[in-house]
Structure 1
C-alpha cells in the first residue's frame, strides 16, 4: 500500500472472485467490471447449451426463435431434430463470437466430422474411445447418407465427394472439434433417429 493506492495482483483478484459467494462476486463485478472475470477463451465460457444461450443473450434472433419454438411446439410429435438444429445454431453462433461465413474464395470453414464405425469396431475400442462415439442411423444409396453429411462414391473410389451444409460451420478447426465432442448428444438428436 502506497499512500491512498492499493495494489492487488490479478491472480489474487480472480481467485477471490472464483471462491467468493454471490454477494462478493457482485461487489467485485461492480468494482472492476464483469469483463474482468469473464474467461477469455470462448471454449471455457461455453460448455453447455445454457452457456451458449447466455453468451448470445435473450435478444439474439436465434435465441428468440428457439424460445418461440420451445413454447409453441405443441403436439408436433417427435421433433428432436428440429429442436437440436435450433440449439446447434445457437451453439455455433456463440462459439464463433460474431463470425459468420462470407463464402469468399479464400475463406475456410470447419465442421465437426463424425466417423462411422461398425459394431465390431466399437467392440474392440477401450472405454475412453467408446465415450466419444455416438450411435445414429441413416440411409444407404450409392454411398451413405445421414442428413448432415453425405459421402458418395461413383464408378471408383478415386471419384469421391463429400457434401456438408454450411449453416453450422465454424471459423476454426479447433472450434469444430470442440463442438463435436462437447455437444455430441445434441448432434446425435440432429443427425440420428
Structure 2
C-alpha cells in the first residue's frame, strides 16, 4: 500500500515534533526533505507564520497571553503591554506585519488617484450555498441582517470610489490598503495560510472548517 503525504504537512509535523519522534522522522524521510525553506522576502510562500514575518522584517514578535514555550524561552523577561489588548486588535497588528512581509523587497502599495492600479484583498465565504439553503426563513433573515446591514462600507479597499450616494472625490479606506496585496494569487495565499488570524481579527466567531480553507 502506498501512502502519499503532502510535503508541507510533513515538514510542519516534523517542526512540532521532539526527541525520538524527530529521530524517527529523519530516519524515514531524511533531513533534506524535512527541513523547510528559510523565510525570505524574495519568496512570499516561505512566510508561513507570523513569526516568519517578524523574522524577515527584523521585528520582535508580539507576546500575547497565549505565547508559546519557544517565545517564552527566547524572551523570558520581556513584557509586552499589547498582551492586554483585545484579541482582534492583536490579530490585526499581526496581519499588518505579515502583509508587509508578503509584499517583499520591491513592492509597497500606494494610493492611485487615477484608479489604474488594482490591489487584492482576501474575501471569505462564511457560509456555503447549501448551508444557507438549509436555514429557516428566520435564520436567513437574521444572517442577512448581520452580514449585510453595513455592506455599504464593507467592500471598499481603495482610497477613492464612486457610488450612487457618493461622488468620485469622496475618500474612503474602510478595509485599509495595508492588508492588500498586488496579485490575486498572493492575496489568496494571505487569506488561506493565515485563516485562523483572519478569523480572530474579523471576530465573527466562526470556526475554520474545510470549505473555508
Aligned residues: 138
Q: Deviations over 1:53-91 (max 9, x none)?
A: 111112xxxx58x469x7013645xx1111001100111
Q: Could you tell me the TM-score, scaled by structure 2's length?
A: 0.49
1:143 to 134, 137, 148: 148
Which residue of structure 2 aligns with residue 7 of structure 1?
none
Unaligned runs of 5+ in 1: 1-15, 22-34, 125-137, 153-158
Residue 165 and residue 140 in structure 1: after superposition, are their counterparts in 2 closer, same or farther (change >3 A)? farther
Unaligned runs of 5+ in 2: 1-29, 65-78, 135-142, 157-163, 165-173, 205-213
Which residue of structure 2 aligns with residue 131 of structure 1?
none
Corresponding residue SS for 1:167: helix
Which residue of structure 2 aligns with residue 184 of structure 1?
195
Map 1:151-170 onto structure 2 (within 5 A). Answer: 164-170=175-181
Q: Which structure has the larger Rg over C-alpha atoms?
A: 1
Q: Which has the higher strand share?
A: 1
TM-align CA RMSD: 4.5
Q: Could you tell me the TM-score, scaled by structure 1's length?
A: 0.53
Which residue of structure 2 aligns with residue 53 of structure 1?
54
Q: Which runs of 4+ in 1 moved over 4 A?
A: 37-40
Corresponding residue SS for 1:73: helix
* Equivalent-residue separation in structure 1 for 2:54 and 2:177 (angstroms): 21
Corresponding residue SS for 2:154: strand
